[in-house]
Structure 1
Amino acid sequence: MTEQSKPPDQSGRLKQDNLRLSHDLAQLQTIARIIVDEPGQADLLIRLSEHIARLLKTKRVMIGTLVDDAIVFEQMIEDGRPQAANRQFRPGEGLAGRVMINKQPYLGSNTSVDPAAGERYAVLAVPILNHQRHLLGVIECHKPPYSLPFTQKDAALVQTIALQMTPGLERALLFGQMERWAGSFENLLTFNANLNGKLEPAILIRRLVEHAAGFLGANAGLAGLVDGEEIVTDGYWQNGRWRPLDLHWPPLETACTPGWVLVNQCPYITDSYRDDTLANYTLLETFGVKNALCVPIMDAREDVLGFVELHNKAGGREPFTWSDAHFLESLANSTAVSIYNAQLLDELETQRSRLRAFAARNLTLLEDERRRIARELHDEAGQVMIGIKLELQVLAQKVAASAPELREEFDRLRRKVNESTAQIKEIGRALRPPVLDQLGLEAALNRFIADFQDRAGLPIHFEPVGLTARLPQPVETACYRLVQEALTNVVRHAQAEQVWISLTVEDQHLYLSVVDDGCGFAPKEMAHAGLGLLGMQERITMFSGTFTVESAPGAGTTINAVIPVPANHASDTDETNILGRSA
């Protein structure tokens, strides 16, 4: 019988079959092109789900992948539109869990898998297996209620797609794993950089929470440090940001997870935080904690420093494992070393602050003593010398003209007294020049430099800028003493022909520079510098300033000092006050 002689119904069925085959072939070709395009995992699964739904003309299609020991469905196609699925099934759980065990396609209804299900509808599930028959995932298809069941032909078609997509899915899974490894490696490098940086302990434990959550797939967590008789937590990390939280835990109380891990010095894992006797009500109700992993932070001496606790692994869908606990312990141990070092540095800085305050107090006492001695030399010794001079004058007048040799002796003694008086005045000015207290730094330096030039025969060029108001007395004293010592060093060691001094006050800082054209010295000789340079450096450092020396043989020497000058400083006369602000 020819084609023309076939009954009309058979001819129509052939046309329908041909159209269906053409449609199926076109969909399979499209699926093949999608796989060849090598999209990422999420894009691959949703695009394939979309085309399978068109191919089978079904209500819902979702493709899940094997993650640890569960099939996880993140997205699905329902009624032609992509939607979030957020489902996971362990072996034996639901349709996907059944296929995980059997590694065989399943045709039937949802009620056959779960008799307690509501509306009955047809289901089809096909495993995605690689060439070694290792399970990669599951394709699930659901029809609308009361629709015709899936056929063996449908199952064979989906199996063909599963075979087609296996290489593409393996590649996508591998690339995804490589990206996670790369991200974890970068996070680990960042975490190590944080540990090696000079961070406060409170910042270190926050970085521990952030990076540990990233490594282990948790979306929330917190940490705390032992502070006296309690553990203090000041924030909660959730979904990539910190939220304010003020919790105080008793460190020896085993009725909470932090207290439990600190007492027992081992990790604590709970898969159901709500049902756990150690659960914290605030965390449970405010942040929706589902599962938790808590480990202690202990230093090398096994002293407990604090705790770190992660929540909601994979959004609470996955339990924390003991491998997670061991990994978190290793991160906590590394952090403990940095916390311990940070605490040591903090203690060291406290001691340094005390030493600076002590040195500042000593400087204040020294300057006060110099001022007192200078005043006594002027008032007491000076008056005594004047009295001696007047008495010598009176005695000289009483000497008879017949004894000229005595008159000459009196004149010699008067000259000696004048010289001693001048020396006493010079000693007093060196101890504490009155002009520094009365007229300020610029006037005191002008007079000192002029006197120094006369005594040393050394040209000195002084350029003050911005000294329109008085500086704090301790700053003026420090700068004056530094110029004194610097010029003394030039005369003793530099063999210089000229010296340039610049003094500038701007932006709440005093900038001092002393430059000579002398013989200079090698930088390595700085380590063996005398007490002069070391004294200058210590004096400037006490003000939280900077002190540098630049020199080279035959190239002269440059001394630079920068001292912070507090705003509204006119009333500051105490060395310790200035140091307290600068530190």
Structure 2
Amino acid sequence: MTNTAVRRGRPSRRHLPRGRPPTQALFRRLFALNGLVFTVGTLVLALSPATVSSPVLLTEVPVLIIGLALILAVNALLLRTSLAPLGALTTLMQRVDLLHRGDRLVDSGNGDLTNLIETFNAMLDRLEAERSASSAHALAVQEGERQRIARELHDEIGQSLTVVLLGLKRAVDRAPEELREELHAVQETVRSSLDEVGQVARRLRPDVLEDLGLHSALNALATEFSQVSGVPVTRKSDPDVPALSAEMELVIFRIVQESLTNVARHAHATKVELSLRAEDDTVVLRVADNGTGDVRHEGAGIRGMRERALLIGARLTISALPRGGTEVRLTVPMMAEGS
């Protein structure tokens, strides 16, 4: 019997298999199976004591029906065994997603469709490699554009608003008493706009990540989230977390940022837990809330998180908690830095 299974896990890269075309191999296999079945049927009919009269007698009809049924049953069983990998291959083709890497078909049976399975697995390898390369390029361009916009917000709009604030201060000092209250209101509006511009710039370009490191950046992100949303964040950071590359730290920061954004938009949560700890040879990030998030539908934000996780060889899982809420878990293998 053909034993075809789906294997999950990161596969080794393989080249396109060479040899006979899959259709030719399958044709030869089916032709041989049918030839074997009919040859055996002919031998049994020739060597058995059963005879067929001309015309056929009614007593001989059951023998012919039984013989035909046996031939068809054996032929169906052999064909089903040979074509079984096609069903597993169709199922894999229907559910395959390049953001969930390592979904492969393993053929450990009689090898009827080995070339076809190996060709399909090699195609998935190429598609995943090309998807990773294009995602890395797109995300790098995105980060560059974010930094450019953040600089323009800080240098252009921020400076302009600062000049307006200074001008309003001088106007307030010189204005008559009946106008000062209105000028103070305008001054506070401009100051609030300047603060919002600063917050947007910091979200676009996390300077604290470069200046103070990942732990301080996550603390600043959680504090800002609590101030804006009113949802408290419980932080648990492991001081023994090993040093990470700049790319890893940026991916972790962006995933936490997107997770907290999803909590604020969709979860209706009253508390959030944020932890970063070392486990064996991995670093595990966990963002959990007690809200009503739906993990069955993945939007653009979650798919973007998965793309970022693939860039550093990390595994991202998003699951519903038993008591309600959603958990985002990112497992970063330390070997990914070298690769």
The correspondence for 1:346, drawn from 112, 122, 127, is 122
TM normalised by structure 2 equals: 0.64
User: For 1:518, what is the secondary structure of its paired residue?
Assistant: coil
Cα shift at 1:538: 3.1
The correspondence for 1:536, drawn from 305, 326, 329, is 305
Paired AA for residue 538 in structure 1: E
Higher strand share: 1
For structure 2, the residue ranges without an aligned partner over 5 or more in a row are 26-81, 83-109
CA distance in 2, matches of 1:547, 1:408: 53
User: For 2:244, what is the secondary structure of its paired residue?
Assistant: coil
Q: What residue number does 2:90 align with?
A: none
Cα shift at 1:510: 1.9
Alpha-carbon contact 1:513-1:561 (below 8 Å) kept? yes
The 1:397/1:553 distance shift into structure 2, 3 A limit, reads same
Q: What residue number does 2:191 align with?
A: 418
Q: What per-residue deviation string (whole Å, max 9, x for no partner) do you get for residues 157-183 of structure 1?
A: xxxxxxxxxxxxxxxxxxxxxxxxxxx
The 1:374/1:499 distance shift into structure 2, 3 A limit, reads same
Q: What per-residue deviation string (whole Å, max 9, x for no partner) do you get for residues 309-346 of structure 1?
A: xxxxxxxxxxxxxxxxxxxxx9xxx6473123213321
The correspondence for 1:368, drawn from 137, 144, 148, is 144
Number of aligned residue pairs: give it: 253
CA distance in 1, matches of 2:159, 2:187: 15
User: Which stretches of structure 1, 4 residues or more, deviate above 6 A after TM superposition?
Assistant: 195-203
Q: What per-residue deviation string (whole Å, max 9, x for no partner) do you get for residues 482-501 of structure 1?
A: 21222222233333332222
TM normalised by structure 1 equals: 0.39
The correspondence for 1:432, drawn from 193, 205, 210, is 205
CA distance in 1, matches of 2:13, 2:303: 34
CA distance in 1, matches of 2:331, 2:185: 50
Q: Which has the higher contact order (CA 8 A, sep 6+)?
A: 2
User: For 2:113, what is the secondary structure of its paired residue?
Assistant: helix
Q: What per-residue deviation string (whole Å, max 9, x for no partner) do you get for residues 516-546 of structure 1?
A: 233465xxx61x2333333323322343322
CA distance in 1, matches of 2:13, 2:204: 47
Q: Is 1:473 aligned to 2:246, yes or no?
A: yes
CA distance in 1, matches of 2:138, 2:329: 24
Q: What per-residue deviation string (whole Å, max 9, x for no partner) do you get for residues 406-436 of structure 1?
A: 4444333322221111111011112122101
After TM superposition, list the pairs within 5 Å mapping 1:169-318 onto structure 2: 192-193=2-3, 226=18, 297-302=19-24
Paired AA for residue 478 in structure 1: V
Cα shift at 1:468: 5.3
Q: Is 1:558 aligned to 2:334, yes or no?
A: no
Alpha-carbon contact 2:242-2:278 (below 8 Å) kept? no
Alpha-carbon contact 2:313-2:332 (below 8 Å) kept? yes
Q: What residue number does 1:453 align with?
A: 226
Q: What residue number does 2:99 align with?
A: none
CA distance in 1, matches of 2:282, 2:270: 30
CA distance in 1, matches of 2:190, 2:264: 29
User: For 1:563, what is the secondary structure of its paired residue?
Assistant: strand
The correspondence for 2:236, drawn from 448, 463, 468, is 463
Cα shift at 1:470: 4.2
The 1:462/1:202 distance shift into structure 2, 3 A limit, reads closer
Alpha-carbon contact 1:495-1:519 (below 8 Å) kept? yes
Cα shift at 1:201: 11
| Cα-Cα RMSD | 3.3
Alpha-carbon contact 1:196-1:338 (below 8 Å) kept? no
Paired AA for residue 354 in structure 1: E
The correspondence for 1:548, drawn from 281, 303, 317, is 317
The 1:200/1:507 distance shift into structure 2, 3 A limit, reads closer
The 1:467/1:488 distance shift into structure 2, 3 A limit, reads farther
Higher helix share: 2
Q: What residue number does 2:170 align with?
A: 394
Alpha-carbon contact 1:453-1:459 (below 8 Å) kept? yes
CA distance in 2, matches of 1:202, 1:426: 47
Q: What residue number does 1:482 align with?
A: 255
The 1:407/1:559 distance shift into structure 2, 3 A limit, reads closer
